[in-house]
Chain A
């Protein structure tokens, strides 16, 4: 099993957000975590990535059978956990190519593979950029600086492509995207989907799931999963809204 979350309680600033969440993910699966605003969807993604603001009060997270909570955020990343941010951060003065090569080589070093020099890496980057239709001019630009919302999201998927994670968490990747950009991002994710990785889509809307079809849909309300099903559950949610699951949760 790739990821196993058992009875997870998480708080931020003393306020409980997740209250007894259970979730299991295998390699080769795409999971959608849906739910109304404030249900704890993004919290789940951030806790898995190791965001320092969130406190795990109780419970267990096993990643490839090991205790994920023992690892710092950067160690998790080098072990293959990746989160695409809802709001990617700008890093002025550091080019995309420099940044990605630093991250890539940190991972290679960690797993005992060969690090790439700039020329070698550039070849890799060109290949990966095709997945999200990014032009090489983006490589020279500072990370996310002056990027449009759609470019930032595409850049997140490019990072995912380069770092080749085992567990990819996409936090509201569809937010702020027009339909064309959404399609590009979704196709990118579909290309990267494999039998060797698990993908978690955190989303409020069903829209994204038209393009990236999930194997499982989990509905989060009040800090725990209140309903689970296949892709048809997402369509049902789109039609009925979240009120009925919220009611069911009480």
Chain B
């Protein structure tokens, strides 16, 4: 038990309050009660847990978070004008907005071409019932348990059979000072469907809060999903998110994860295959500075023959920042014909930054094509000299090389506002000059 009695009470009271008088069906209440029980038993992880060795979440355990409910989730605190400040950056005309973990219908503009409903509207939906809380393991850790315990509400997205959703579906998560938010999303892509989801994790103001989200994704045969996550939380905030995708026959999952914000971020992501011919691309870029800490733990399971998983993660670290990458790829005995690739490359821009990287590939079948690797390094002196020798000032030369390092992941991003955010994060000076150069 790592939680102090006081904290438990905070979550206990909030949990009981959210259960009491709930009109949720018994099966859901049962899942939530069980999850809360497992949270109380396990607590939030500590560094004694091998999976959390380098990421100390004791500040999260020690804080007294407020848990918002639909009733008390009012407008975001402060004078920040949500509609102008944040939403104008969200392209595509639609946005599904969570504030402090609570879905806000009043701020949302629901997407077209896809079924988007609150969980409460989907309790009787057989598809919802069959997938909810079956993709992400509730007991993976205390965070997934806690999220599930508070997951009575959330957003259920379903792309119908053979439909192509034209607009990217925007999910917007906004933190509220002092609160712990537990947003939850379930996406089901039916046979032959095609869609794009963009998750935006944003701050309304620079403040301390916790985002503990769970995103479950189920792709049926021949379904395609592009899934981009952009984390731009407050630099005082904690971001702990778990996402997991299951892939049907011949389905394609293209996932890109950008981490720019938060004081501490942890992303547990997983992918598994339900049938042959599935392809998953899981790429990421983390850009951290000052005392930021970012941690990605991924687990890809090849239990089925002839599936593809490619993972490219790049990190750029400045200041005293720290990054953790742990990538597990398991190729099980029956998974002949697997094509698995994993790489994690890190660029250190300061002597005080630190990376702990552990790509881990375990193969139990000979008939496979697998490769993995990790690097940690600084800008090459020879490369820098090349640019200097062409007359570029040193700061510009360094920026160009840094951009070049990250380009492989950045080029995947198609959404202009996200591209811009990436530029502003580290490459603004460079880009203001390059923008006009086409």
Using CB atoms and an 8 Å cutoff, list the residues of chain A in contact with chain B.
Answer: 49-53, 72-74, 76-78, 82-83, 85, 88-89, 91-95, 97-99, 101-103, 106-107, 110, 117-118, 142, 159, 163
Q: Are B390 and A163 in contact (CB under 8 A)?
A: yes
15 extra interchain contacts, Cβ-Cβ under 8 A, other than A93-B404, A103-B390, A118-B436?
Answer: A49-B385, A49-B389, A50-B388, A52-B385, A72-B388, A77-B390, A77-B391, A85-B386, A85-B389, A89-B387, A91-B387, A93-B408, A93-B411, A94-B403, A103-B391
Q: Contacts of B436 on A, CB cut-off 8 Å? A: 117-118
Q: Are B401 and A91 in contact (CB under 8 A)?
A: yes
Determine whether B166 belongs to the interface, using a CB cutoff of 8 Å to chain A. no
Among the listed A82, A89, A117, A142, which residue makes an inter-chain contact with B382, where contact means beta carbons less than 8 Å apart?
A89
Q: Are A83 and B389 in contact (CB under 8 A)?
A: yes
Q: How far is the CB of B399 from chain A (nearest CB, A)?
A: 10
Most interface-central of B391, B400, B433, B437 (chain A CB within 10 A): B391
A155 to B117, CA, bound (A): 56
Q: Contacts of A101 on B, CB cut-off 8 Å? A: 437
Among the listed B392, B408, B438, which residue makes an inter-chain contact with A103, where contact means beta carbons less than 8 Å apart?
B392
A142 to B401, CA, bound (A): 12
Q: Are A74 and B393 in contact (CB under 8 A)?
A: yes
Q: Are A73 and B385 in contact (CB under 8 A)?
A: yes
In the complex, chain B residues 361-409 whose Cβ is within 8 Å of any chain A Cβ: 380-383, 385-394, 396-397, 400-401, 403-408
5 closest A-B pairs (Cβ-Cβ)? A93-B407, A77-B391, A89-B386, A73-B388, A103-B390
- Are A93 and B410 also in contact (CB < 8 A) when A53-B381, A77-B391, A106-B393 are? yes
Determine whether B434 belongs to the interface, using a CB cutoff of 8 Å to chain A. yes
Q: Are B404 and A94 in contact (CB under 8 A)?
A: yes
Q: Contacts of B382 on A, CB cut-off 8 Å? A: 89
Using CB atoms and an 8 Å cutoff, list the residues of chain B in contact with chain A.
Answer: 380-383, 385-394, 396-397, 400-401, 403-408, 410-411, 433-434, 436-438
Q: Are B392 and A106 in contact (CB under 8 A)?
A: yes
B interface: dominant SS: helix
Q: Contacts of B405 on A, CB cut-off 8 Å? A: 92
Chain B residue with the shortest CB-CB distance to A105: B433
Q: Contacts of A118 on B, CB cut-off 8 Å? A: 436-438
A225 to B380, CA, bound (A): 32
A77 to B393, CA, bound (A): 10
Q: How far is the CB of A197 from chain B (nearest CB, A)?
A: 16
- Are A102 and B392 also in contact (CB < 8 A) when A53-B381, A97-B437 are? yes
Q: Are B404 and A74 in contact (CB under 8 A)?
A: no
Q: Are A98 and B391 in contact (CB under 8 A)?
A: no
Q: Contacts of B434 on A, CB cut-off 8 Å? A: 94, 98, 102
Q: How far is the CB of A160 from chain B (nearest CB, A)?
A: 10
Q: Contacts of B411 on A, CB cut-off 8 Å? A: 93
Q: Contacts of B380 on A, CB cut-off 8 Å? A: 89
Q: Are A77 and B389 in contact (CB under 8 A)?
A: yes
A118 to B438, CA, bound (A): 6
Q: Are B391 and A74 in contact (CB under 8 A)?
A: yes
Chain A residue with the shortest CB-CB distance to B438: A118
- Are A74 and B437 also in contact (CB < 8 A) when A92-B404, A94-B404 are? no
Q: How far is the CB of B252 from chain A (nearest CB, A)?
A: 25
26 A/B residue pairs, CB under 8 Å, sorted by A: A52-B381, A53-B381, A74-B389, A76-B389, A82-B389, A89-B380, A89-B387, A91-B383, A91-B386, A92-B404, A92-B405, A92-B407, A93-B406, A93-B408, A94-B400, A94-B403, A95-B437, A97-B437, A99-B390, A102-B396, A102-B433, A102-B434, A118-B437, A118-B438, A142-B404, A163-B391
A74 to B397, CA, bound (A): 10
A205 to B74, CA, bound (A): 79
Q: Are B404 and A50 in contact (CB under 8 A)?
A: no
Q: Contacts of B404 on A, CB cut-off 8 Å? A: 91-94, 142
Q: How far is the CB of B384 from chain A (nearest CB, A)?
A: 9
Q: How far is the CB of A179 from chain B (nearest CB, A)?
A: 27
Chain A residue with the shortest CB-CB distance to B400: A94
Q: Contacts of A117 on B, CB cut-off 8 Å? A: 436
A97 to B382, CA, bound (A): 21
A98 to B436, CA, bound (A): 9
Q: Contacts of B383 on A, CB cut-off 8 Å? A: 89, 91
